């Protein structure tokens, strides 16, 4: 696949929901560099990851609208005249979804209908790329997991993300709103929320290593995951937004093979030159919703778009550590939080 998908964005109007968050802001940086006319929408709800510092250095090259995607009147206006919408707004904490399922329902289901209805009546020609999650699969029946695996979530977040995904497919198939979903595995890198540990363990592990603290690994650390550097995730979104072969379908976006938690922590401590690892028993609330070993088969997306993860884990960890060492005060409001791991 040539780089023609990058040329597609020059001069085009693009909307990124959740645009001040982790993946959204890194995607925005790519879009700005490609010459797109970029609008970011973010509610800046505390603890959800939105951070104005994430657009440091490019703030004068894009527009930002602080708005809640659940507000129909706002979205009716904001989707107009956009060629592509990258729909990354959402609540991503599995633990929070179990503690407050109604908020998760509002943010991950109702908001998706709000966005899609706004497109249906105000911009039916738009292309929408939804940020899905591997959490919709639940416990893997076999590895690696491809898109034919049953959708069988183990927590409220997974259920609501699956529903949000299927809304996009229905609006593609019934109303002609071109849409697709990228089922992301564990994305990591600069600009990720690290104030607390409820939005993914890898960002929290990185913080602990930087602060020379103890990384607690549940069980014996043998559980397997795959990891995608955020620049590679952004590239996946760019390809999906430009290539209509993705329309009406779902795609895994996973890393280059499985890595155990033990190996991840070892590489992280080595890259940081600080931190240590301790093995502890599983907390009951996390064990109850853990999906066990998981790594994705991304060959379907590779065949449709030519995408492949390009950043080795060691390189990605090194770049991430360097970023947070330079800007830690922008992402941590206190040096030693009491939040348990």
Closest CA to 47 of 92, 86, 109, 87: 92
The model's pTM is 0.94
Question: Would you state the pLDDT for residue 76?
Answer: 98
Closest CA to 107 of 87, 79, 82, 124: 87
Question: Would you state the pLDDT for residue 289?
Answer: 74
Q: What is the dihedral of CA 54, 7, 128, 171, to 10 degrees?
A: 180
Q: How many Å is the Cα radius of gyration of the chain?
A: 19
Question: Would you state the pLDDT for residue 341?
Answer: 34
C-alpha 235/C-alpha 142 separation (Å) is: 28
Question: Would you state the pLDDT for residue 199?
Answer: 67
Three-class HEC string of 290-338: CCCCCCECCHHHHHHHCCCCCCCHHHHHHHHHHHHHHHHHHCCCCCCCC
Domains, in order of start, for the chain: 4-188+227-253 (3.40.50.720)
Question: Would you state the pLDDT for residue 338?
Answer: 37
Average pLDDT of adjacent 10-residue blocks, the chain of 341 residues: 86 97 97 98 86 97 96 97 95 79 89 97 98 94 97 92 96 98 97 83 94 94 96 98 98 96 95 96 82 94 97 97 97 54 34
Question: Would you state the pLDDT for residue 91?
Answer: 79
Question: Would you state the pLDDT for residue 2?
Answer: 63
Question: Would you state the pLDDT for residue 335?
Answer: 39
Question: Would you state the pLDDT for residue 339?
Answer: 39
Pair of tokens at residue 286 = 């996390």
> What separation in angstroms does the CA of 283 have from each of 73, 140, 219, 287, 291?
43, 21, 10, 6, 14
């Amino acid at each position: 696949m040539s780089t023609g998908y990058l040329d597609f964005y020059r001069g085009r109007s693009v909307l990124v929901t959740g645009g001040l968050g982790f993946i959204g802001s890194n995607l925005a940086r790519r879009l700005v560099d490609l010459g797109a006319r970029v609008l970011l929408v973010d509610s800046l709800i505390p603890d959800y990851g939105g951070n104005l510092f994430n657009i440091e250095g490019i703030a004068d090259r894009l527009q930002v609208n602080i708005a809640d995607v659940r507000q129909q009147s706002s979205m009716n206006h904001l989707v107009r005249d956009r060629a592509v919408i990258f729909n990354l707004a959402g609540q991503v904490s599995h633990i929070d979804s179990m503690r407050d399922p109604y908020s998760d329902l509002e943010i991950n289901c109702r908001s998706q209908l709000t966005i899609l209805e706004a497109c249906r009546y105000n911009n039916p020609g738009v292309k929408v790329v939804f940020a899905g999650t591997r959490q919709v699969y639940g416990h893997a029946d076999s590895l690696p997991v491809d898109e034919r695996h049953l959708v069988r979530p183990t927590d409220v977040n997974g259920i609501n993300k699956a529903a949000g995904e299927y809304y996009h497919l229905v609006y593609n198939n019934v109303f002609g709103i071109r849409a697709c979903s990228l089922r992301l595995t564990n994305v990591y890198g600069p600009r990720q929320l690290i104030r607390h540990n409820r939005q993914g363990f890898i960002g929290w592990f990185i913080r602990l290593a930087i602060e020379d603290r103890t990384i607690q690994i549940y069980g014996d650390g043998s559980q397997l995951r795959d990891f995608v550097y955020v620049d590679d995730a952004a590239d996946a979104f760019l390809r999906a937004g430009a290539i209509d072969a993705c329309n009406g379908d779902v795609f895994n976006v996973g890393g280059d093979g499985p890595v155990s938690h033990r190996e991840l922590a070892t590489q992280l401590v080595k890259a940081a030159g600080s931190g240590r690892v301790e093995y502890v028993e599983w907390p009951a609330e996390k064990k109850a919703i853990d999906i066990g070993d998981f790594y994705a088969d991304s060959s379907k997306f590779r065949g449709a778009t030519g995408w492949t993860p390009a950043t080795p884990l060691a390189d990605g960890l090194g770049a991430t550590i360097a970023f947070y060492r330079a800007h830690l005060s922008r992402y941590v409001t206190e040096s030693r939080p009491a939040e348990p791991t």
